[in-house]
């Protein structure tokens, strides 16, 4: 039936809308069957709402946890997550306010490349916005929002989604349409995203479990992860700072960092939007492979400063323990409770608790980012802008994913590191310290 819908030129939009409603009702019946089963699988927590601060300008919408911004994808692009199952019944949610909240959130990130993950499961006739609202929303999201959206992943699509897509085809450009990817199982996201950073609602996890259990022949092959292989002696990505130091003649600054920073200091300090742009995916993978095999990398050959910038962010993001370490994560989050006049001093104290090697590497990075910020008149990257890019790559919680509310204190802390570099790092001079 769906194929005939997609190929027919005679069917009206009204007919498509009616078919969409029919498909949504079928989805609801399947959901009702799932929810009548004997409880969630063991180990999955109940649904929980976002703990947004009541002072948030869109607290009435944000408190539901419909929208989350968490970390980056595998290519250094900010992740924005929309979860239909978190939407309350329509009479409890002002959809106009929802649209304003979407724009308010995206406005903080659309100057950089970003990725959207849409969890479709949980959309019902009781909580879905009208088709008119969807059309208005698409028109509201003008070129500013669409230009830097690099990928849109629709997870657990149904016929309803495909029919809606058909309704909107006259409004959607071919270029935008190429950014859409349907994802049938959560495991398929692993090829594109860092799933450890992905905030997946428990309802979606349960639904995915049922889909995989119902599949003949067991779960999809991508779910069966091979046992981890020991890292190569030359490995640079995905291994600890200590491992890199031991395997590289006790070098203090990891080679990936020293080489990217050296190149960017020479070529990229005045590049507008440095660290905001992504690079060709396959090229980044190829460079990572060269590093991991111990082969030389010359960024001059690529002629694009954004390549080196993405490699630097990727290196930091893939450290098994973030540069600011797991034990200090709670202290970083508490910075928002500190009086503004005392925050620099608090930042110094937190940084002073880092292990020696982490401190040296962080100082090296912060010094470089301070240099970048000094050229903000050209590159448009102020300490605040740099903090939005690097904060999520410097720290993350020991368990689970980082919530939208956790980003604010992390960005504040990172901005302090960059803007007040000389003060924060001036009082401690560890042995063997190096500067960029």
Nearest residue to 112 via CA among 352, 386, 401, 404: 386
The C-alpha atoms of residue 135 and residue 40 are separated, in whole angstroms, by 36
Q: How far is CA 289 from CA 51, 304, 343, 367, in A?
A: 40, 18, 40, 28
CATH numbers and ranges of domains, the chain:
2-223 (3.40.525.10), 241-425 (1.10.555.10)
- Determine the pLDDT at residue 222: 47
Contacts of 362 (CB under 8 A, 6+ apart): 323, 324, 351, 354, 394, 417
Tokens 């190096």, residue?
434
Specify the pLDDT at position 199: 77
Is residue 276 within 8 A of residue 112, CB to CB? The reply is: yes
Q: 85-108 b/e with 16+ CB inside 10 Å = b?
A: bbbeebeebebeebbebbebbbee
pLDDT (tens digit, 0 to 9) for every residue of the chain, 436 residues total? 444 444 443 445 455 455 555 555 555 555 555 555 544 444 434 444 444 566 778 888 888 888 888 767 766 777 888 898 898 988 888 888 988 888 888 887 777 788 888 898 888 878 888 777 777 777 777 777 778 888 888 888 887 777 777 766 666 677 777 888 888 888 888 777 766 667 788 888 888 888 888 775 554 544 444 556 778 889 999 999 999 999 888 889 999 999 999 999 999 999 998 998 888 888 988 999 999 999 999 999 998 999 999 999 999 999 999 999 999 999 999 999 999 999 999 999 999 999 999 999 999 999 999 999 999 999 999 999 999 889 989 998 887 667 667 888 999 999 999 999 999 998 554 444 444 4
3-state secondary structure of 68: strand
pLDDT of residue 175: 75
What is the DSSP track for 231-278? Answer: PPTT--SSS-HHHHHHHTTT-SS-HHHHHHHHHHHHHTTT-TTTTTS-
Fill in the DSSP letter of residue 193: B
287 to 257, 302, 310, 339, 351: CA distances (angstroms): 13, 10, 11, 44, 31
Strands 149-155, 114-119: pairing kind: parallel
pLDDT at 158: 80
* CA 47 to chain CA centroid, nearest Å: 21
- From residue 250, give the alpha-carbon distance in Å to each of 90, 295, 329, 432: 60, 19, 27, 11
Residues whose CB falls within 8 Å of the CB of residue 333, separated by 6 or more in sequence, listed in order:
406, 409, 410
Q: How far is CA 210 from CA 84, 201, 236, 320, in A?
A: 18, 15, 38, 31
Strand order in the sheet with 67-72: 67-72, 78-83, 114-119, 149-155, 180-183
Residue with tokens 């031991």: 246
Rounded Cα distance, 68 and 121, in Å:
16
**What per-residue confidence (pLDDT) applies to 33?**
54
């Amino acid at each position: 039936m769906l194929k005939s819908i997609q190929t027919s030129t005679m069917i009206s939009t009204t007919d498509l809308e009616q078919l969409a409603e029919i498909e949504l009702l079928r989805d609801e019946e399947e959901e009702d069957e799932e929810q009548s089963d004997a409880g969630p699988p063991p180990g999955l927590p109940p649904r929980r709402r976002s703990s947004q601060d009541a002072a948030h300008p869109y607290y009435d919408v944000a408190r539901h946890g419909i929208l989350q911004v968490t970390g980056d994808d595998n290519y250094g692009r900010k992740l924005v997550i929309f979860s239909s199952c978190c939407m309350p019944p329509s009479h409890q949610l002002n959809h106009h306010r929802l649209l304003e909240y979407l724009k308010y959130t995206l406005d903080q990130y659309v100057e950089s490349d970003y990725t959207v993950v849409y969890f479709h499961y949980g959309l019902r006739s009781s909580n879905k916005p009208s088709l008119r609202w969807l059309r208005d929303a698409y028109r509201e999201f003008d070129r500013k929002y669409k230009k830097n959206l690099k990928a849109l992943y629709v997870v657990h699509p149904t016929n309803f989604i495909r029919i809606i897509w058909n309704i909107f085809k006259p409004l959607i450009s071919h270029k935008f349409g190429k950014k859409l990817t349907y994802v049938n199982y959560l495991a398929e996201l692993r090829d594109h995203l860092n799933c450890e950073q992905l905030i997946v609602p428990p309802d979606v996890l349960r639904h995915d479990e049922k889909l995989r259990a119902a599949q003949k022949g067991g779960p999809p092959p991508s779910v069966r992860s091979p046992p981890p292989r020991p890292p190569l002696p030359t490995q640079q990505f995905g291994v600890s700072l200590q491992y890199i130091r031991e395997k590289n003649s006790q070098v203090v600054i990891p080679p990936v960092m020293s080489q990217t920073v050296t190149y960017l200091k020479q070529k990229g300090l005045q590049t507008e939007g440095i660290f905001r742009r992504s690079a060709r995916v396959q090229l980044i993978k190829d460079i990572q492979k060269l590093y991991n095999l111990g082969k030389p990398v010359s960024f001059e050959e690529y002629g694009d400063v954004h390549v080196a910038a993405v490699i630097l962010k990727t290196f930091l993001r893939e450290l098994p323990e973030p540069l600011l370490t797991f034990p200090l994560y709670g202290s970083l989050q508490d910075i928002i409770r500190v009086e503004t006049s005392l925050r620099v001093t608090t930042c110094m104290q937190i940084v002073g608790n880092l292990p020696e090697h982490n401190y040296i590497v962080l100082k090296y990075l912060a010094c470089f980012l301070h240099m970048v910020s000094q050229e903000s008149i050209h590159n448009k990257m102020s300490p605040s802008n740099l903090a939005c890019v690097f904060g999520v790559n410097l720290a993350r919680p020991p368990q689970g994913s980082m919530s939208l509310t956790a980003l604010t204190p992390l960005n504040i802390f990172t901005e302090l590191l960059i803007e007040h570099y000389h003060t924060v790092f001036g009082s401690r001079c560890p042995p063997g310290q190096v500067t960029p």
